[in-house]
Structure 1
Amino acid sequence: MGFIDRVRDLLRKRGGPDLTVDTEGVVVVAEAFDVAEADSAVLGRSHLWRADEPAILRHHLVLPPDRVTEAASVLAQDGWELRPGPGGEGPVRVHALRVQKLDALHCAQERARMAGLAQRLDGDWLGWDALQPMGLGGTGRDG
């Protein structure tokens, strides 16, 4: 067993550091921006997602500037954190973030919830992605 294998095993046994929405070094391991694609298909095609580990689920929304505070309040009730996304004029791009274990059922439920919330607030849901710490020896895109 090599050094990297021993470190990986040690981190798995200890559980590693707790994942938070502010954890650095996370990469996108799955993404769903096509409304016609099922969440189960998204997770099924991901070769980076580790089902047995928590992930940061990040929904991408566009909201009117005067509705962002309301959205943050509604989402906070269930442990979601709303943060500004890329800047620009007019509608505001925001990210709703929460750490959880992912599975197709919960991803689909949260997709429907976020799309419904965005619609009620005169906004739009764009999609979701999931981020996890880069596994030792893994590859991925920056979050």
Structure 2
Amino acid sequence: MKSIHARWSAFRAARRARSRPVISVGDPALKVVVTAFDETEAASAALGRSERWQPELPAVLRHHLALPDHSIEAARVLLAADGWELRPGGRGGELAAPGLTALIALRVQQLDALHCSQESSRMAGLAQRHGGQSFGWDALQPDPS
């Protein structure tokens, strides 16, 4: 049986979710609002320089990776456990070392500097462990106009 605290937390989370616009990773109307492809730039700086990012709205966070074919399925399973989708494409197509496949890991989430930094480190570690590369991230949201 759930505790009062757990039930109250679930109620508040459901209430917050209902008040936000629903977006999906495949929505073609979404536009890039933040880019962070320089590994020396802090996530807070990338978010801070964006004129189109709407902090109160959820976004599709996309990490650009390249992995060897033999490790893609293992990475997909690992990422799926935390709600990430792994799709072909992204910056790796033009930047990846030979023998690597360009991929994008993406999911809907609220953007903030802490979580963007944590996920960026996670993706870089995942790419390194699987013999791949990480090229940074970008985020998409509905066009504010």
**Length-normalised TM-score, structure 1:** 0.81
Q: Does 1:30 align with 2:34?
A: yes
Match of 2:120 among 111, 134, 138: 111
Q: How many angstroms apart in 1 are the aligned matches of 2:49 and 2:40?
A: 15
Q: How many angstroms apart in 2 are the aligned matches of 1:100 and 1:15?
A: 11
Q: What residue identity is the alignment partner of 1:127? A: G
Q: What residue identity is the alignment partner of 1:98? A: R
Q: How many angstroms apart in 2 are the aligned matches of 1:119 and 1:90?
A: 15
Uncovered stretches (5+) of structure 2, i.e. residues with no partner? 1-18
Where does residue 91 of structure 1 map in the other structure? Answer: 100
Count of matched residue positions in the alignment of Structure 1 and Structure 2: 122
Offset at residue 43 of structure 1 (A): 0.2
Q: How many angstroms apart in 1 are the aligned matches of 2:38 and 2:24?
A: 26
Where does residue 56 of structure 1 map in the other structure? Answer: 60
SS in 2 for 1:110: helix
Offset at residue 90 of structure 1 (A): 2.5
Higher percent of residues as helix: 2
Offset at residue 129 of structure 1 (A): 0.1
Q: How many angstroms apart in 1 are the aligned matches of 2:20 and 2:41?
A: 33
> 4+ runs of 1 displaced by more than 4 Å?
86-89
Q: Does 1:80 align with 2:84?
A: yes
Identical aligned residues as a percent:
54
Match of 1:123 among 129, 132, 135: 132
Q: What's the CA shift string for 1:54-113, capped at 9, x where partnerless?
A: 000000001001111111000000000000115687210000000000000000000000
Match of 1:134 among 133, 138, 143: 143
Q: What's the CA shift string for 1:30-60, capped at 9, x where partnerless?
A: 0111011000000000000000000000000
Offset at residue 135 of structure 1 (A): 1.4
Uncovered stretches (5+) of structure 1, i.e. residues with no partner? 1-13, 137-143
SS in 2 for 1:47: coil
